[in-house]
Structure 1
Amino acid sequence: MFQNRLVNIMLIIIISLTLVGVVAFVLFNYFSYSTEAGAEPTIDQIIENSWETEEITTNLNDGSMFRGAFRIHVETKAGAEELQKRDFQIKNIIIHELAGMNAGGLQSREGLQTLEDTLRSDINDIMKEGDVVRVYTTQRMIQ
């Protein structure tokens, strides 16, 4: 290679340190950003990636009145921003879904879970940035 032995040793050390640094950087980025499959999000991630509706009051199919609010959790922050922009569409979906339900159906745990699952599916149909993970009922009153 070069005639000077000191230059050869110095080049080998510099190349070795650079290679170790690159490998360490790649491994650090790989392990710090990857999450386990199926890992539950933290409460801070849920709050950051969700949007809460205003209180909605509407009539039910049997003449009863429903007053409630929902928190919609999406996969990404961009999805949460899209939810805020689509608030009128989401309120429309909620009102239409509630219009076909009876007070008796919303009184039970299964009925409420069915409503949340249906809302999640319907909102996913209009979303472009990510998917809805879950819809939480934060307030509910039936008269």
Structure 2
Amino acid sequence: MKGSLVKTMLVMLSAITVLAIAGVVLYINLSGDDKKASGKLSADELVELSVTTEEIMTNLSDEGFAKVTFRIQVDNQKAKKELETRMFQIRNSIIYQLSGTQAEDLKGPEGIDKLEQDLQKTINGFLENGKVVRVFTTEKIVQ
């Protein structure tokens, strides 16, 4: 009887140990420490995964003009390389988007946010090796 009791206690202790180890492993993997999953990159990582457009100056639909520069962040190095290769398409998309926009639409944070989101969707349509995480407006002059 004592041998049976000892075996049962060892099996129970082993099961509790295995569950505890599994719990710790799951906690570590799902706790959000993964920087890319949480979207929190260091400044160096952000630079490594983004491309800056050249200054773009174009007419707006209401006879005004805009001069803009963007920094486009992607999710991996392959996407960055592809983005650099497709920069002519990106510039074309920006000019196309702005040519249908009025100066009033670009004023204030809402206008900038809408433009950035629209460009993100458009650029994601070009990419085959990743996706655009965010478009940052780094320079904007509208007249």
Range of TM-score over shorter length: 0.7 to 0.9
Residue of structure 1 equivalent to 2:114: 114
Return 5+ residue gaps in structure 1 as ranges.
1-26
In angstroms, what is the RMSD of aligned CA positions? Answer: 1.8
Residue of structure 2 equivalent to 1:65: 65
**TM-score between the two structures when normalised by the length of structure 2:** 0.74
Amino acid at match of 1:59: N
Residue of structure 1 equivalent to 2:123: 123
1:9-88 aligned within 5 A: 35=34, 37-88=37-88
Mapped partners of 2:39, 2:69: distance in 1: 27
Mapped partners of 1:66, 1:114: distance in 2: 15
Q: CA deviation at 1:42?
A: 1.5
How many positions carry a matched residue from both structures? 113
Q: CA deviation at 1:45?
A: 1.1
Amino acid at match of 1:125: G
**TM-score between the two structures when normalised by the length of structure 1:** 0.74
Residue of structure 1 equivalent to 2:98: 98
Q: CA deviation at 1:38?
A: 2.0
- Secondary structure of the 2:62 match is coil
Return 5+ residue gaps in structure 2 as ranges.
1-24
Runs of at least 4 residues off by over 3 Å: none
Mapped partners of 2:48, 2:81: distance in 1: 10
Amino acid at match of 1:95: I
Q: CA deviation at 1:76?
A: 0.6
% identity of equivalent residues: 39
Mapped partners of 1:121, 1:84: distance in 2: 17
- Secondary structure of the 2:73 match is strand
After superposition, the C-alpha distances for 1:36-63 in whole angstroms (9 at most, x for unaligned) are 6424122111100000000000000101
Distance 1:39 1:122, change over 3 A: closer
